[in-house]
Amino acid sequence: MAYATTNPPVCIVPKVGSHSAVWLYKSADAHTDVDLVGYFTNGADLGLTEDDVMIVVDTATPTCTIHQVASSTSITVATLA
């Protein structure tokens, strides 16, 4: 499946000082799909930054995994690790 900008991740704990923000993303996509380079096509626009933490909930399986934002470019894409 593919990321839909109509179902963006939500910041549940904002960044404080030098500490990372925590995000929640719910989708039927497997976490291995969400880990693909550039999966979040509007990551920078949403405010995702490198080293933020993302909790990914796969609603189809169901499973829950925790990821680190590996990069977020000014071009807007974000990649999880």
Q: Is the pLDDT of residue 76 over 80?
A: no
Distances (CA, A) of 25 to 17, 18: 23, 22
Confidence band of 70 (pLDDT split at 50, 70, 90): confident
Q: For 28-42, what is each residue's pLDDT tens digit?
A: 999 889 888 888 888
Query: What distance in Å separates the CA atoms of residue 26 and residue 18, rounded to the nearest whole number?
Result: 26
Q: Is the pTM of this model over 0.75?
A: yes
Q: For 4-22, what is each residue's pLDDT tens digit?
A: 999 999 999 999 999 999 9
Residue in 60, 61, 62, 67 with CA at minimum distance from that of residue 24? 67
Q: Look up residue 19 and give its DSSP letter.
A: B
Query: What distance in Å separates the CA atoms of residue 27 and residue 4, rounded to the nearest whole number?
Result: 10
